[in-house]
Each structure stands twice: as C-alpha cells, then as structure tokens.
Structure 1
C-alpha cells in the first residue's frame, strides 16, 4: 500500500450543527474566495490590510504570483512533502492549513487549523514553510496587500 497526497481545498456545504462542532478556528465560505486554477491545487484566499482585517475582493487587481504559477506550486509541494521514516504510518484524512503571502511576497503566519496526526501535521507545516517567495498582490491603487490562503492536504491510501 502507498499513500496518495491530494492537494486541494474544495468547498463543502455544511450544516450549522457541523460548523459548530468544528475545531478551535472556524472559517466560513464567505470569508474566502476560490482561486481559479486548472490543476489539482484549489486554493481559497482573503485579502488583509496592515492590521490583518479582511478587505474587499473588488479592489484587488493582481493576486500574489508563485514563480511559474499555480501548476509550479503544486509540483513544488508534491516534490517537497516529506515524512520522517521513523514516524510515518499510513492513514487517510485531511489537514487544513492557512498561510499569508505578505506585501514582500514572503510566506508567513503558517497555521494548521484542522489536524490529522502529529507526523502528518508536521510534514504539512514543513512543506509550506519551504515555499519560496511570491510576487505580492496589488490593489487598484497600486498598493501591495497581504493575502491569506486556505490550503488542504488530503491523504488517500492507494492499493
């Protein structure tokens, strides 16, 4: 058996009861907007001002850009996702994480907001922390803005 890592962040409809039973941090669909992409990497994002308050999507003219685009980001994550051989055990499940691309294009404020198991959580955090600098997002007035991304890692066993 091998494990297949699927990098995704698909929207799912949830009942109010399910939302209330989620872990410490809750994100609703209205807080994030989906990034249009042709690959398996489905990111969602929100714009943040200098005080980390959410700002209107309409004022954005340019999303942050990973070198080579979102296809390259998918490849980067797949190539750099590593487990410690001593800790790795096969399991299925999902990890949700967030990270911010700041006004300098740096990946900062990485958080694992929905955990699976320590070895998987650690590997997810480490791969995000290795992501190189992006071209920062721009607003209509030319000002650079922070963008918070929501990213899920889905683990599926393959026979």
Structure 2
C-alpha cells in the first residue's frame, strides 16, 4: 500500500512537500448549483433583491474564496492564481423551480493543482447566493458540488464522465 502523503512518520497530518515538483500550467473546472423558487429567480434576474445584485456579489465572493482557499483548507498550499472565472446559467425546472448552475474555472502555473480552489470558489459562490436570498426563502437547496475537469501536474489530466 502506498504511503499516505499527508501523514508524517508519527501518523500525524503534514503539508505535502512540493519543493521538487516542476511547475506546469494547471487548470480546474468545478460545478455546483442551487434550486430556487420562481420568486427568487425573478427577483435575482430583475435585480430586485434588497441586498443588491446577487450574482455580482456571488461572483466576487467566489473569486475571493478561490484566492483564500489555503486559509480555510488546512493542507492546501497558498497559490499564485493566474485566473479565476465564474459563469452562471439558469435552468427552468418543474413546479416553478429554477436551478442556478455555477461553473468555476481556475488557473495557475505552479507545482500543485487548483482543484480545491475551483471547488472552494463554487461553494463560496453558492453560499453567498443563499445568504443574500435567505430572507425571501430559506428553502433554497444547494446541489452537488464536484470537479468537472483538471489539467496539468504529475497525476495528469482528469475529466469527469457523464457530465
């Protein structure tokens, strides 16, 4: 069995040493979604929420989340991100429900990947939408959050199948 990379000889947590790893272009794409009422959909898209432009604030929060990932995920390395993009798309569901799809894209040129930064951006984005809308409807559901694709690094590329 391979040795766990995040454990030292005493079996305690450690940050992985990436000193000898080469720098490569690394990218990650993550997704999440929220399920909201028709009322919230209309308020958000028509910019009628009392707290302001929900998607603009969520976008900035997601970017900030990506940049601060190493501050909240203990074993993540602080990274010099070279790009963060967040995209929103709406999907009308049954029973006057709407799905807000959030896609996050993160890039760096470095010695470790940006998967956690993309996932954190997606999560922070979704939580910000919830926070800005909870006064109108606390029944919002945050959907699955997952890595869609990552490129670069020693482990190679990854693309989730069936998405």
- Shared fold per TM-score greater than 0.5: no
TM-score (norm 1): 0.32
Rg (Cα) greater in structure = 2
TM-score (norm 2): 0.31
